[in-house]
C-alpha cells in the first residue's frame, strides 16, 4: 500500500491551452532524459510547454519545442533551451502510439511537467486538434452552463 506522500506530485508547468485546442483521447506518464542544469531549471519553474509536442522517431519518443530556460547559476555547462529530449515509455506503449499517431489528425502533446518521487515526469496526451467551429460550440456551451447556474442560484431557496 502506497503512502500519500509517495503518490504526491508537484506540478511545475501546465499546458492550459491544450484543453481548448485539442480533444484529448488518452494520457500517458513518461519520464524525461535531462541534464543536471535542466533539472535545476525545472525545479525553479522555468519551463514553457506552450508550443511543445512529441514525435516518434526510430521507435523512440522525443519531446520537441519545450523551452527550459538556462539555469541561472549554470556556467558553460548550461543546456540548449530548445533541445529535443528523449521520453521514457514502455515499448508496448510506443507501438500503440505509433499506430494511433499515424491516423489522420492525431498528435502527441505535453499537458504538464511534474516531479514524482524526485523524478521529472511528463503527462503526454494523444490528442486530436479542434476545428474553429468546435471551439465556438464549446464557448457557447460554457456560456449557457454559466447562465443556467446563475439563474439556478437566484431561484434556489
Q: In the prediction, which pLDDT does 90 show?
A: 94
SS (H, E, C) 85-130: EEEECCHHHHHHHHHHHCCCCEEEEEEEEEEECCEEEEEEEEEEEC
**pLDDT at 2 (0 to 100):** 53
Q: Answer for the pair 112, 13: CB distance below 8 angstroms, yes or no.
A: yes
Q: Give phi and psi for 71, each to the nearest 5.
A: -65, 135
Q: DSSP secondary-structure letter at 19? A: H
Of 10, 15, 5, nearest to 127 by C-alpha is: 15
- pLDDT value at residue 4: 54
Residues of the chain below pLDDT 50: 1, 5
Per-residue pLDDT at 153: 73
pTM: 0.76
Q: How many residues does the chain have?
A: 157
Architecture per CATH, domain 9-130, reads as Beta Barrel (2.40)
The pLDDT tens digits of the residues spanning 64-87 come to 998 888 887 777 777 778 889 999
Amino acid at each position: 500500500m502506497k503512502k500519500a506522500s509517495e503518490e504526491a506530485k508537484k506540478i511545475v508547468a501546465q499546458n492550459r491551452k491544450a484543453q481548448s485546442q485539442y480533444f484529448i483521447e488518452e494520457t500517458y506518464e513518461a519520464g524525461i532524459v535531462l541534464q543536471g542544469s535542466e533539472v535545476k531549471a525545472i525545479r525553479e519553474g522555468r519551463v514553457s510547454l506552450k508550443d511543445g509536442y512529441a514525435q516518434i522517431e526510430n521507435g523512440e519518443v522525443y519531446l520537441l519545442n519545450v523551452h527550459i530556460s538556462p539555469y541561472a547559476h549554470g556556467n558553460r555547462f548550461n543546456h540548449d533551451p530548445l533541445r529535443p529530449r528523449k521520453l521514457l515509455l514502455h515499448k508496448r506503449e510506443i507501438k500503440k502510439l505509433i499506430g494511433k499517431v499515424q491516423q489522420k489528425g492525431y498528435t502527441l502533446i505535453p499537458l504538464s511537467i511534474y516531479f514524482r518521487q524526485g523524478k521529472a515526469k511528463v503527462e503526454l496526451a494523444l490528442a486530436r486538434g479542434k476545428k474553429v467551429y468546435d471551439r465556438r460550440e464549446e464557448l457557447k456551451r460554457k456560456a449557457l452552463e454559466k447562465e443556467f447556474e446563475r439563474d439556478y442560484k437566484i431561484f434556489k431557496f
